[in-house]
Amino acid sequence: MGYPEDLLASEERLLLHRHEHWKALIVPGLLFLVYTGLAIWGLVAISGADLSDGTALVLRIVLGVVWLGLFSWLGVAPVVRWASTHFVLTDRRVLFRTGIITRSGIDIPIARINTVQFRHGLIDRMFRTGTLIIESASDDPLEFTDIPEVEKVHAMLYNELYDEIEDEEGR
């Protein structure tokens, strides 16, 4: 899902648009494999059991409904949540939007940013992701987790911050 550029102010340039790193989908993917395997095992067990046709049909339907519920809750929902989470950097601000039904977001003007930090451990470095920490003039630091290529995003944001400071001093 691309970030709608019509939400940007006039003459504001989109520099970067990211979703959370795909590693956020690993656990839901593994859970999908586990409960699908359990559902198949359940179908095989039902087929091999000495049950009447009506009872076997009811158990298959219940198993299918449970599997579909788990698939929706633990499979589809995380993918939709991932796709609807946006980290956006423009030449004027940092935007973060998340949510499916209830949307929430924050905009941080570049001029109000005091410090930009990043953090990533061994696993994050292997996946080329990390946490971006932005401290603005009046707020507690904000942490944005699972930002892909966090070091590049950090450098890009720092360069925009530096350009903003240069523009203010040049006026």
> What local confidence, expressed as pLDDT, does residue 49 receive?
87
Claim to verify: residue 93 and residue 159 sit in the same structural domain = yes
Per the structure, the complete domain to which residue 98 belongs is given by 13-18+87-170
Give the torsion sign (CA, 43, 49, 54, 59): negative
Claim to verify: residue 104 and residue 70 sit in the same structural domain = no
Claim to verify: residue 70 and residue 45 sit in the same structural domain = yes
Claim to verify: residue 114 and residue 133 sit in the same structural domain = yes
Q: Answer yes or no: is 42 within a domain.
A: yes
- How far is it, in rounded angstroms, from Cα 80 to Cα 83? 5
- How far is it, in rounded angstroms, from Cα 68 to Cα 62? 10
Q: How confident is the model at residue 136 (pLDDT cuts 50, 70, 90)?
A: confident
**Res. 57: pLDDT tops 70:** yes
2 or 103, higher pLDDT: 103
Task: Count the domains in the chain.
Answer: 2
The one-letter amino acid code at 69 reads G
Claim to verify: residue 118 and residue 147 sit in the same structural domain = yes
**Res. 165: pLDDT tops 80:** no
pLDDT digits (tens, 9 = 90+) for 67-116: 999 999 988 999 999 999 999 999 999 999 998 889 898 999 998 898 89
Claim to verify: residue 91 and residue 164 sit in the same structural domain = yes
**Shortest CA distance to 98 belongs to which of 90, 109, 86?**
86
Percent of the chain with pLDDT over 90: 65
Q: Answer yes or no: is 132 within a domain.
A: yes
**What is the overall mean pLDDT for the chain?**
89
Q: How confident is the model at residue 163 (pLDDT cuts 50, 70, 90)?
A: confident
> What local confidence, expressed as pLDDT, does residue 94 receive?
92
Claim to verify: residue 155 and residue 101 sit in the same structural domain = yes
**Res. 171: pLDDT tops 90:** no
Long-range Cβ contact pairs of 139-144 (< 8 A, separation 24 or more)? 141/115, 141/117, 142/96, 142/106, 142/108, 144/87, 144/96
